[in-house]
Amino acid sequence: MLGNGGGDTMNGRRNSGGGSRGNGQPRKSARTGSRPGSRPAGRGGSRPNPRSRGAGRTGAIRRDDEPRASRPKTLGGSQIEGRQAVRELLLAQRRKVQEIWISSELEGDEALDDIVGLARANRVPVSYVARRRLETAARSEAPQGVLARAAEVPEVDLARLIKRREGVAPFLVAVDGVTDPGNLGAIMRSCEGAGVDGIVVPRHRAVHITPTVAKAAAGAVEHVPVAVVPGLPAALARMKDQGIWIVGLDDAADRSLFELGDLAVEGICVVLGAEGAGLSRLVRERCDLICAIPMHGRVESLNVSAAAALAAYEVRRHR
């Protein structure tokens, strides 16, 4: 028995669960002709195209229907606080670091020698500032006297995470509307430690990378790929189409997380529900299996970040 997951048996064939995608209609072009009796604009006697815009002093004109230069999508995280988070930022060399602030009270502190050395090796400016100034600029509760500013964390495409590599089945974690930055940071830290290939988060009604997330993750934001999707149910359906098993965690399920068995060595995505609300209805319907973490005490459930750690390491144990 699979609990409330809505899936088939572990060895049976399952439905893809994918939805259809509507086709957008082409945008109608604006009128460019002159109205009868209207006064012509400009020396040429023709009205300017209302769908064009000037480009400041350059004099260049771009039509709205011309393609815009694509920019890489980012998750935020331009401000990083805390010693371990800043250290990993410098070690990873994944993104450009603009500057580092250190509290003037810590100048010469041997505990920060590695950060200062890494910054100098990477030609990153280091400024010693008044403690009050640093704490005023900080956005987490305890920046530990160290703050860095860098380019934002880049998103990765979902297709990259679900692509099968030779001899390696995808191992993913999806979070269904987690809004507490401390929880997301702790989830990322556990996932990095367990060797999760990537994390999937919805674009709306969920926290992304903030200074608190980066600090709680203790540098994991520099190493764990994160894909942001418009809707988690559709993303899960897409994973199922690629043969990835979707396993949701819910304390009301009848099946134990520790009964995954051989399923854990296949392509798998563990789905964690939001704080308090748990899995949403549509996400639950996309799951092949719903599992619970057995609770032997008086408390009914675990914090979502603690559940993520247990689930990630249980899958890793089988691998």
pLDDT digits (tens, 9 = 90+) for 255-308: 999 999 889 999 999 999 987 788 999 999 999 999 999 999 988 888 999 999
Alpha-carbon gap, residue 186 to 6, rounded angstroms: 29
- Short-list 40, 108, 51, 92, CA closest to 225: 92
Strands 245-249, 268-273: pairing kind:
parallel
Per the structure, the complete domain to which residue 146 belongs is given by 79-150
Report which residue type is found at 289: L
Same domain, 146 and 163: no
Report which residue type is found at 218: A
41/183: higher pLDDT: 183
- Residue 313's H or E segment, with its range, is helix 304-318
Residue 278: what pLDDT?
87
- pTM for the whole thing? 0.75
CB 240 within 8 A of CB 214: no
Residue 316: what pLDDT?
95
**Helical H runs in 195-259?**
211-217, 232-241
- Residue 1 resides in a domain: no
Number of domains in the chain: 2
Alpha-carbon gap, residue 306 to 294, rounded angstroms: 13
Residue 104: what pLDDT?
95
The CATH number that applies at residue 307 is 3.40.1280.10
